[in-house]
């Protein structure tokens, strides 16, 4: 076994009390503890993931989109050639949800009734128009 140069002249307790049997027993105990340590680590990871999930879910408020809702669409997705320029608005619209094809998948139309040819995912839509109009109606009714 490799020893520190100082332990050659003055032996430490580690060197004086070393025996093969004690070493083997210690290694067997460590092998038994490895499973326990892994289980504890798995429990800590699961607890951390639960805390992170609850932290995220606390701040996310799902707003389900329905047929007839007014939405804004992401203009970067609408123009994949990126000819809009740097100072172009991020969101464009308003558009009306014409049909719900699947959960979170929608067919849109303009306010004039012209159907938009492609299908849109809820990830690229914002439901802020309805919130704005509700707030505007509330403020005007207060006057």
Check residue 84 and report its DSSP letter: S
pLDDT of residue 83: 80
The predicted-structure confidence for 48-93, as pLDDT tens digits, reads as follows: 999 999 998 887 766 688 898 889 999 888 887 778 778 888 888 8
Note if the pTM is more than 0.75.
no
Check residue 125 and report its DSSP letter: E
pLDDT surpasses 70 at 124: yes
As a whole number of angstroms, the distance between CA 12 and CA 79 comes to 74
- Coarse DSSP helix, strand, coil percentages of the chain, rounded to the nearest 5 percent: 50, 20, 30
The predicted-structure confidence for 4-45, as pLDDT tens digits, reads as follows: 666 566 666 666 777 788 888 888 888 888 989 999 999 999
Strand arrangement of the beta sheet that strand 70-74 belongs to: 115-121, 105-109, 91-102, 70-74, 125-126
Question: Which residues fall within 8 angstroms of residue 20, CB to CB, at 6 or more apart?
Answer: none
Residue 73 — φ and ψ, nearest 5°?
-115, 155
Reading phi first (left if > 0) and then psi (alpha if -120 to 50, else beta), residue 45 is in alpha
């Amino acid at each position: 076994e490799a020893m520190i140069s100082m332990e050659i002249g003055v032996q430490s307790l580690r060197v004086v009390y070393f025996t093969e049997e004690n070493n083997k027993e210690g290694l067997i105990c460590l092998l038994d503890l490895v499973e326990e340590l892994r289980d504890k680590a798995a429990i800590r990871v699961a607890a951390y993931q639960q805390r992170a999930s609850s932290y995220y879910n606390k701040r996310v408020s799902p707003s389900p989109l329905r047929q007839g809702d007014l939405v804004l669409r992401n203009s970067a997705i609408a123009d994949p050639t990126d000819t809009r320029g740097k100072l172009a608005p991020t969101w464009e619209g308003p558009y009306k949800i014409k049909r719900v094809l699947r959960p979170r998948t929608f067919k849109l139309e303009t306010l004039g009734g012209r159907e938009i040819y492609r299908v849109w995912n809820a990830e690229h839509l914002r439901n802020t128009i309805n919130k704005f109009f509700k707030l505007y109606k509330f403020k005007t009714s207060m006057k």
